[in-house]
Amino acid sequence: MGRILIVDDTLFMRTLLKNILFSGGHSIVGEAGDGDEAIEKYKELKPDLVTMDVVMPKMNGIEALKGIKAFDPNAKVIMCTAVGQEQMVKLAIKSGARGYVVKPFQAPKVLEEIKNVLGS
Amino acid sequence: MSEMDAYRALYIAESRENHETIVKNLLVLENGPDEAAIAEIFRSAHSLKGMSATMGFKHMERVCHAMEDVFQLIRSGQLEVHQDLVDLLLAASDDIELMLDDIESEGPGTIDHLEERVQSLLDWKADRHTPGGMDAGSMQSENGATVPAQIADEALLEEKEGQFQMLIRLRDDCDSRNLRGMLLLQNLDQFGTIIQCIPDREIVEDGVFDGTIRLVIRSDAGIDALKTAASVSDVKEVLFGPDIEMAAGKTAPGREGVGKPLTGSDIVAAGTDHAPGLAKQVKEERVDKSREVKNIRVDITRLDQMMNLIEDLVINRGRLAQIARKFQIKELDETLNMVGRSVSDLQNLMMNIRMIPLSHIFNRFPRTVRDLAHKEEKEVEFTIEGGDTELDRSIMDGLNDPLLHLIRNGVDHGIEKPEIRMRSGKPGKGKLNLIASRDRDNVVIVIEDDGTGINREKVARKAVERGLITELQAAEMTNEAVYDLLFLPGFSTAEKVTDVSGRGVGLDVVRTAIDNLKGTIKVESSPGKGSRFELVLPPTMAIVNVIMVRINGRRCAIPVNNVVEVAGLSVSKIHHIGTQEAIMMRDEVLPLDRLDDMFGKSDKTEILVVLQHQNKKRTIAVDMIEGQQEVVIKPLSSMIGGCRGISGITIPGDGEVVPVLDVNAIVREN
């Protein structure tokens, strides 16, 4: 199972995601509340996978994704997106995002996506 | 839903923060465009929407979604911020607050006028939305491009080795075919060159298609790699056509090979559940889960429970210390000293944990002032200082209403309309300041305005009319004493009853509330220049510095901040004014009270304690002073009910239950 970094600006979503990931047997190596912190934590923790929120303060998820990819081109980043953000996610995929999950999260879907991306 | 209940408290707390952010920034926007404010509102609305959708609160989700859409347009410069729009957005944020209140009290979080509200927000979007704007619609792309399902025959293939025909079907419940298709093709790109794709790649990525992708890819990575690359989430099946054989150099592919469902023994199905590589995942070392968690949220009642336990610990430590002294056990005494240090550290820590910044309640006031000023056609510049000053949670809870009342008063009664202000040479825009600061052990909150001030004559006249004082008294009173009349029950100088202040509840309610918090309030004013209300509050109510006295042999605690001085009592200096005894101290006549009915008559009174509450002083006679100490005051149980003259009890180390004198009540009521 994977070592995962959760990036989201709300504690609520982080907690929820954390519990879903725990239930799938993953370990959470870190959490970040904005894009800057996400890049910093990625460099420090080298997680197997990152779940990345799109809309965040300071630096948004797309920029953070680019920052992480610049540091590690093989980084596995999954975008956490909401209804209405399709264009943003397309941008993210073009920048190297390996998957996406849609809020509100459904645990089986989240776990499946993570499993697939980790396995690829 | 039940599984989500665990997240309810977190949801509410975080949603309230987001709601506050929205309101705060809307008020910023009202004063002119501000990119940071727009970005913050967008983000908060977005977060709120996401959380609400997760919790299943549909109404919240829809209102926030509509707000987010509007801000999407504002952010991209397609919509300007108008006053009307700010009003509407503020109304929508009021809805959000209403819904949150409802959710907090276990309600469904719904509002009756949901459709109207959402529609009115969307109207702005419809009015200003120009073509080519952002995709604010649903996940399903609405570009309108459609592709006929049957296109197979048009497919023209280059016949070559190392070429694979693939058919990939997405699951029906796939969240976004476009995104999934895009990811899939991007994955395949890494293993070869996609020669042909049906529907076109642009349509897979941006148009509408039925979830089936047929493609021809040239690759030397082998079928397994392609299978893995295509086996992303949401994929129902991946089929390879007959030209797999071709890859091995045997059969040439036919045109019909692409485009129709492929069946038969040639087809290899790759289930998404068996992505290779996963099995190879070695058991990872579990990293400490809590390592990264820096903040947690705790229910305030739990903190109260902890505080109570610490208090018990303090009391029992005191008892142990006395036992140690009684039996002269030195080691125990020493150990208890150590315990004592830990306990007091624990107590301090606990107090700090319970402290929250005043901005917690201050942040709501700008909105109040703004709405009120609009309604009364006044212009008010409202400033807040010292929002980071911390207060105990329990005090904070009782402070909101009195502060709100004073702020409303400032706008309603204090600040004049612009034309009146101009006439008296003041700027049209009035000033209202809310300032908090720390003064030694107390927290001081000042609310000041540069408005009309308090009219002494008007107050005095009203007080006489109401029979509160006589005309003679009124003439002799100091300004301070006259202003003090404002705090009497039922007093209101407002000419007409507005729906803002003067609803029958006056400043007396404010004073009672502040009294309950063991604080004081005073007012200063100069006519034409404004008024200034000053609140002095203890930062915490749980621990109080008291002096321990004995009256008729019984112990009693008096809060130190109510004690002005302690003096010897000599019988010869007691004067009699009617039935009331009084003491002359430095040209001041101070009434002397004997708390006989509380403690029984004492014939050993030797000490005089001067008490003060607000600006009134009284003295009480006590037998002796035992000392000064910090104690935890516990309220009287509701079973006992109100007990005049006693604000609570405390249990010092020896285990005796000691009443704490309610000085405020004693001074005020006599």
Q: What is the CATH number of the domain that holds A10?
A: 3.40.50.2300
CB B121 within 8 Å of CB B66: yes
| CB < 8 Å to A116, chain B | 231-233, 272, 275
CATH number given to B152-274? 3.30.70.1110
| CB < 8 Å to B291, chain A | 29-30
Separation between Cα atoms, residue B198 and residue B192, nearest integer Å: 17
Quote the pLDDT of residue B200: 86
**Burial of residue A20, with CB atoms counted within 10 A of its CB: 0-12 exposed, 13-18 middle, 19 or more buried:** buried
Task: Note whether A70 contacts B: Cβ–Cβ < 8 A.
Answer: no
| CB < 8 Å to A97, chain B | 183
Q: Tell me: the pLDDT tens digits for B564-623?
A: 888 888 776 788 888 888 888 888 888 888 888 888 888 888 888 999 877 788 899 899
Q: Is the peptide bond before B591 cis (omega within 30 degrees of 0)?
A: no
Quickly state the pLDDT bin for B472 (edges 50, 70, 90). confident
CATH architecture of B358-537: 2-Layer Sandwich (3.30)
Residue pointed to by tokens 């980071």: B388
Tokens of B73: 């347009």
Lowest mean per-residue pLDDT among A68-82, B219-233, B268-282: B268-282
Nearest to A18 by CA among A31, A37, A36, A33: A31
What are the residue numbers of the active site of B?
46, 68, 409
CB B19 within 8 Å of CB B363: no
B 44-83 → A contacts, CB under 8 A: 46-47, 49-51, 53-54, 56, 65, 68-69, 72
- Cβ-defined contact of B51 to A119 (cutoff 8 Å): no
- Cβ-defined contact of B53 to A29 (cutoff 8 Å): no
Residue pointed to by tokens 């093989």: A74
Spatial neighbors of A32 by CB under 8 A, at least 6 apart, are A5, A6, A7, A38, A40, A41
**Burial of residue B521, with CB atoms counted within 10 A of its CB: 0-12 exposed, 13-18 middle, 19 or more buried:** buried
| CB < 8 Å to A31, chain B | 292-293
Top mean pLDDT of B2-16, B477-491, B549-563, B578-592 is at: B549-563
Q: Model-level pTM?
A: 0.52
Pairing of strands B380-385, B212-218: unpaired
SS3 B589: strand
Tokens of B475: 């003439």
Counted domains in chain A: 1
Spatial neighbors of A75 by CB under 8 A, at least 6 apart, are A42, A50, A68, A69, A96
Quickly state the pLDDT bin for B454 (edges 50, 70, 90). confident
Please check the confidence at residue B270 and state whether its pLDDT lies above 50: no
| CB < 8 Å to A63, chain B | none
| CB < 8 Å to B39, chain A | 57
In Å, how far from its chain's centre is CA B652?
Answer: 36
Instruction: Provide the 10 A C-beta neighbour count for residue B642.
Output: 9
Quote the pLDDT of residue A41: 94
Measure in Å the smallest separation between the Cα of B51 and chain A Cα atoms: 7
In Å, how far from its chain's centre is CA B94?
Answer: 15
Strands of the B193-198 sheet, one edge to the other: B193-198, B212-218, B163-170, B235-240
Rounded to 5 degrees, φ, ψ at B232 are -85, 175
Separation between Cα atoms, residue B185 and residue B257, nearest integer Å: 20
Separation between Cα atoms, residue B548 and residue B624, nearest integer Å: 9
Q: What is the mean pLDDT of residues B1-26?
A: 83
Task: Note whether B313 contacts A: Cβ–Cβ < 8 A.
Answer: no
Fold of B302-356: Helix Hairpins (1.10.287)
Q: Tell me: the pLDDT tens digits for A43-65?
A: 999 999 999 999 888 888 999 99
Nearest-CB residue to A90 (from B50, B179, B281): B179
Separation between Cα atoms, residue B493 and residue B273, nearest integer Å: 77
Question: Which chain A residue has the Cα nearest residue B13?
Answer: A12
In Å, how far from its chain's centre is CA B636?
Answer: 30
Nearest to B646 by CA among B660, B656, B636: B660
CB B317 within 8 Å of CB B336: yes
By residue range, what is the domain housing residue A65? 3-119
Question: Which chain B residue has the Cα nearest residue A118?
Answer: B278
Amino acid (1-letter code) at residue B275: A
- Cβ-defined contact of A86 to B284 (cutoff 8 Å): no
Helix ranges, chain A (H): 11-23, 35-45, 61-71, 86-94, 107-119
More confident residue, B544 or B215: B215
Separation between Cα atoms, residue A60 and residue B305, nearest integer Å: 41
A 6-45 → B contacts, CB under 8 A: 9-13, 15-16, 22, 27-31
Tokens of B397: 């809870």
Quickly state the pLDDT bin for B535 (edges 50, 70, 90). very high
Q: What is the mean pLDDT of residues B448-470?
A: 86
Separation between Cα atoms, residue B404 and residue B7, nearest integer Å: 31
Mutate which: B11, B168, B284, vs A, most A CBs within 10 A: B284
Measure in Å the smallest separation between the Cα of B354 and chain A Cα atoms: 20
- The overall average pLDDT reported for chain B is 78
Q: Tell me: the pLDDT tens digits for B140-185?
A: 333 443 333 333 333 334 445 678 888 888 888 888 888 888 888 8
Measured on CA atoms in the order B471, B473, B476, B478, is the torsion positive or negative?
A: negative
Spatial neighbors of B426 by CB under 8 A, at least 6 apart, are B416, B450
Fold of B2-128: Four Helix Bundle (Hemerythrin (Met), subunit A) (1.20.120)
Measured on CA atoms in the order A70, A76, A82, A86, is the torsion positive or negative?
A: positive
Pairing of strands B212-218, B543-551: unpaired
Q: How far apart are the first and last CA of chain A?
A: 13
Task: Note whether B306 contacts A: Cβ–Cβ < 8 A.
Answer: no
Quickly state the pLDDT bin for B222 (edges 50, 70, 90). confident
Task: Note whether B16 contacts A: Cβ–Cβ < 8 A.
Answer: no
Question: Which chain A residue has the Cα nearest residue B279?
Answer: A119
Radius of gyration of chain B (CA): 37
- Cβ-defined contact of B136 to A84 (cutoff 8 Å): yes
Measure in Å the smallest separation between the Cα of A63 and chain B Cα atoms: 15
Question: Which chain A residue has the Cα nearest residue B52?
Answer: A104
Amino acid (1-letter code) at residue B98: L
Domain ranges of chain B: 2-128, 152-274, 302-356, 358-537, 543-669
Please check the confidence at residue B500 and state whether its pLDDT lies above 50: no
**CA separation (Å) from B240 to B178, B183, B212, B262, B579?**
22, 19, 13, 8, 109
CATH architecture of B543-669: Beta Barrel (2.40)
Instruction: Provide the 10 A C-beta neighbour count for residue B340.
Output: 16
Quote the pLDDT of residue B642: 67
- Cβ-defined contact of B46 to A1 (cutoff 8 Å): no
- The overall average pLDDT reported for chain A is 91
| CB < 8 Å to A117, chain B | 232
SS3 B260: coil
SS3 B61: helix
Quote the pLDDT of residue B4: 75
B 21-50 → A contacts, CB under 8 A: 39-40, 42-43, 46-47, 49-50
Please check the confidence at residue B431 and state whether its pLDDT lies above 90: yes
Task: Note whether A100 contacts B: Cβ–Cβ < 8 A.
Answer: yes
- Cβ-defined contact of A13 to B281 (cutoff 8 Å): no
Measure in Å the smallest separation between the Cα of B532 and chain A Cα atoms: 39
CB A82 within 8 Å of CB B49: yes
Residue pointed to by tokens 């929508």: B92
Q: Tell me: the pLDDT tens digits for A26-42?
A: 999 999 999 999 999 99
Strands of the B430-439 sheet, one edge to the other: B380-385, B430-439, B442-449, B530-537, B520-526
